[in-house]
Amino acid sequence: MEETTEKTNIFKIITEPKRQFELLRRRPKIVIPLLIVFLIGIVNIVFGLTFNPDVSEEISESNSSLVLTTVFNSIMGIFGLFMVIVLRAVVLMIIMAIVEPGEDIQYPITITLYSFIVVQIGALISTTIAFFIDGNPGKNYTSLGAIYASDMSTQDFVNDIQYILLESINPFTIWMLVLVFIGIKVLYKTTTTKAVVATVLFYILPLLGSMLLGSLLPSDLDM
């Protein structure tokens, strides 16, 4: 009787994350989750642009310059998503090189990609909410930041920082961090304490970077 080898199922990372990461420890996968993350991201970007009133009106009038601008913005959005994933993976790679050195370099990339599937699902849900309430697809309607921005009358450094912090508080970010924790614990076979520390750093360091960037760039919280 032949022994069947259980294969990873990318969709079960949501329902059976621990088991899937156990399988990924033996054979890390990067290409498939990367394609799925980008597929959801592209759908989200295109969907958001289709109901943007300014874009829809200009496209209906065959404004070629705006069509080109829209295409360019779409490409930049996809490139931005790629850079976020790369930076997140590098951050986790550095963290784990300190916390648990000597493991496969593919592990942090795998963890980042699989956890970002949840993030992209959340972004698509947020865009869908924006569609039904006639909102701005650029705002994260699944986060506390959306509520905060709607009540904010002024824009300054403190408000910018508070908005960025609150925008990071949403169920999909929490879900992502849970997956990151499980991935670190299973792939690296590390202690719970080390996994918690690494997960917290994975959350805090990019957040601090966003706050610093937000304080330097002009804000547009009135979305």
Convert the pLDDT of each residue in 103-132 to its tens digit: 788 999 999 999 999 999 999 999 998 888
Are the CB atoms for 49 and 70 separated by under 8 Å?
A: yes
Higher pLDDT, 139 or 85: 85
**pTM across the whole model:** 0.83
Dihedral of alpha carbons 217, 209, 78, 115, sign: negative
Tell me what the mean pLDDT of segment 23-30 comes to. Answer: 88
Q: Is the pLDDT of residue 223 over 60?
A: no
Hey, what amino acid is at 57? E
Hey, what amino acid is at 174? I
Give the pLDDT confidence of 39-64 residue by residue, as tens digits: 999 898 888 877 665 555 555 555 56
CA 67: distance to chain centroid?
Answer: 27
Q: How large a percentage of the chain has pLDDT more than 70?
A: 78
Hey, what amino acid is at 120? Q
Q: Is the pLDDT of residue 20 over 90?
A: yes
Higher pLDDT, 161 or 62: 161
Dihedral of alpha carbons 211, 213, 216, 222, sign: negative
CB-CB neighbours of 109 under 10 Å: 22
User: What CA–CA distance (Å, rounded) separates 163 from 43?
Assistant: 26
DSSP the chain: -PPPPP---TTHHHH-HHHHHHHHHHS---HHHHHHHHHHHHHHHHHHHHT-HHHHHHHHTT-HHHHHHHHHHHHHHHHHHHHHHHHHHHHHHHHHHHHSTTS-THHHHHHHHHHHHHHHHHHHHHHHHHHHTT--TTS-TTSHHHHHHHT-----HHHHHHHHHHHT-SHHHHHHHHHHHHHHHHHS---HHHHHHHHHHHHHHHHHHHHHHHHHSPP----
Are the CB atoms for 13 and 179 separated by under 8 Å?
A: yes
Tokens read off for 184: 């670190």
The CA distances from residue 126 to 110, 135, 137, in Å, are 25, 10, 7
User: What CA–CA distance (Å, rounded) separates 109 from 28?
Assistant: 9
